[in-house]
Structure 1
């Protein structure tokens, strides 16, 4: 009888240990997925930042008197590429950059010669492509963060997280500017 009880206890201990290890490894996998998806956002943002000086230089030749727009784009880019920003601050800097880029794109509409310039059009198309990739990477990152938070807050992840040193929550990368850019249609 003592052997049977000992065997049952051993099975319970091994199963419990396996459960803890499996749950901990899942939390680690999800945390690493959030870090990898953030790295993808970072890659796309860097690509965007590298394209902006080309766009500004291309537009500067056609609309030299639009100096304020060029300076605003350059300043917003400088803030966006500065290091040490957290997710929320980085999102705010990118939103400001997007807003100033909108002003720069509007110059292309105001100056037909600029709009017709092949270099400006190519860089503008590449920037739009980069924006699409950023939106996709942001969506993937936010989904990874949501999965990670769900695992941290639900059983058994919450227990294992506390036992294993409570993995920290991640911030969502939200672009506040998108909601403001939505076109509102009103009927009279």
Structure 2
């Protein structure tokens, strides 16, 4: 079920990406309680209440900005993750508020199977036609996400701080591909 007509459904060979709905809460809460998921994203599990607030924020961003995040499910309906664009207004030094932030979180069982690359390729195809650039932040220890960002064309802008921890801040212009992060180092 779509949240509204303004959230486009994206499909890939193995995935369907839709807007968040209230019925996604339990699957998303289970995902955010898995240590394989949160280890590189804050290091703490998210409570069901926090996941509910994230879900509501995801729905609201589509209404306010015309873009947001999607829930990715495989052909069997299993939650693969949450991916897409966010207006986080995070207290990051230096600021990343000049462009939407792209993010990806995959269920623990979905790691290492190419789902993030597949979903993000569809999201970036949609995004590139609408938004001139995006940014992302990655924990410097998250080698898998750094490799993925590189393949997607993200270039290292700088190292920053978020919640007193170092983060990599990466940028991507619409239509960019490959040779990003490692080439910029």
Tell me: higher relative CO, structure 1 or 2? Use CA pairs within 8 A at least 6 residues apart: 1
Structure number with higher strand proportion: 2
The higher radius of gyration belongs to 1
TM-score normalised per structure 1:
0.33
